[in-house]
Structure 1
């Protein structure tokens, strides 16, 4: 790789992961097409991207830990509930045609954006709910399903976790994005990366260093700017990202 392509890889990775850390997910929207444009086959790009996104979680987590606002019990709940789904998704997706999976995911993500837009008060204030045994059980099933999507698809599952935490548990956008970035970006992606690697997915190891740097820096920068903004700004960024990712996936722009 020459210096021009190396710089494009680093800058693109920083941008993609900063966007994801600010709005709650979607690093693959920019990072996956970038890897493809730079010449990687889809299977190698996917495996390389999966591993690199772990650094997104590290960068975002390192910034959010400084806030002192994280609740460990909530975070561990989200991580644990999605773990089984992540492992299953990484193993089952090989049986699903890629075009069908991406189109369905795109339609779902567009739906998330539209749903948030038509509910102007959604996620603006933290209003805890469904904190009973029944509520946590249903929440666990929902998070496990989202974990399955995380293990099997290239981008966007952090967006599902964000809206799920807002709708079911009453989180505001800032709190939901923070939990999504740590649980999905760091832990779920780590599990998915190990599963993909063990399954024999090809990895472009010589590109991984730049991607890990870009993912970490982008995750930290995005989380920093997110902490400075109010819930309405984060909500608008989330909605815009949902529509952009959803349309990209639905119409096969990858």
Structure 2
């Protein structure tokens, strides 16, 4: 019975976390990773388990968004080309470096992104084409590489970074940006990071099936809600989850710094 309750709790957790993430464009780790730690996994094991489970976020969202047929495949290739090397770099070094100041600083930046979107009320509500010249693509690609490195090395929030960057720099509306993020970051970036981390740390294999099922179903439902309800809901979901992720990262970073200090 204890095993059944444990599996049921993991399923509900994964459904909820990935449903919210699919609406906002990232942040599933805000809920999922702390619960895995609370259930007794070490940080490295929880991280490897979460990273592998997060790949299903991309699977469920891809199934729903692909039906819309609105992706620019050249732009998809550009995002992958710029971001994947950063993901590999970040995933390769995450288990080897101190994380306190990095997580604390990232929390401040993440909360700032959400507040910025709140203040800029028209941001991401309509689509326009920006910075698609050579200079714009180089700058945009460098930032995507940096975010990719954060995606490989940290546990939550980096998909939200990509969402806002696509909106602010390239002029996408929120709904379109979330589509790109869930498919390219959720499926390709996350799978690359998961593979790299799994080579260094074994995950909790018996928990993965239910986490993968919950992530697939949750992300599909979240993507469906985002598509049918439009930009306003997606923008609000992004802002709320970004601020929450930022607060959590600030808290986590502060606890680590106090423990180390």
Which category describes the TM-score, using the shorter chain as reference length?
A: over 0.9
Which has the larger displacement, 186-195 or 65-74? 65-74
Partner of 1:134: 135
Residue 243 of structure 1 pairs with residue 252 of structure 2: no
Q: Deviations over 1:46-80 (max 9, x none)?
A: 00000111111011001100111122111121111
Partner of 1:81: 82
Tell me the number of residue pairs that the alignment of Structure 1 and Structure 2 aligns: 253
- Kindly state the Cα deviation for residue 29 of structure 1 after the two structures are TM-superposed: 0.6
- Kindly state the Cα deviation for residue 5 of structure 1 after the two structures are TM-superposed: 1.3
Q: Deviations over 1:142-182 (max 9, x none)?
A: 10010000000000110000000011100000000110111
- Contact between 2:14 and 2:218, CA under 8 Å: does it hold in 1? yes
- Contact between 1:28 and 1:155, CA under 8 Å: does it hold in 2? yes
- Kindly state the Cα deviation for residue 99 of structure 1 after the two structures are TM-superposed: 2.3
Give the unaligned 5+ runs of structure 2: 256-261
Q: Deviations over 1:78-123 (max 9, x none)?
A: 1111011001111223343122222122111101001111111100
Question: What SS does the aligned partner of 1:103 have?
Answer: helix
Q: CA RMSD in A?
A: 1.3
Question: What SS does the aligned partner of 2:252 have?
Answer: coil
Instruction: Report the TM-score, using the length of structure 2 for normalisation.
Output: 0.94
Q: Mapping of 1:154-165 within 5 angstroms?
A: 154-165=155-166
Q: Mapping of 1:164-175 within 5 angstroms?
A: 164-175=165-176
Alpha-carbon distance between aligned partners in 2 of 1:95 and 1:101, rounded to the nearest angstrom: 13
Partner of 2:24: 23
Q: Mapping of 1:101-116 within 5 angstroms?
A: 101-116=102-117
Partner of 1:218: 218
Give the unaligned 5+ runs of structure 1: none
Partner of 1:201: 201
Instruction: Report the TM-score, using the length of structure 1 for normalisation.
Output: 0.96
Alpha-carbon distance between aligned partners in 2 of 1:136 and 1:79, rounded to the nearest angstrom: 13
Alpha-carbon distance between aligned partners in 1 of 2:237 and 2:251, rounded to the nearest angstrom: 21
Alpha-carbon distance between aligned partners in 2 of 1:144 and 1:183, rounded to the nearest angstrom: 13
Partner of 1:125: 126
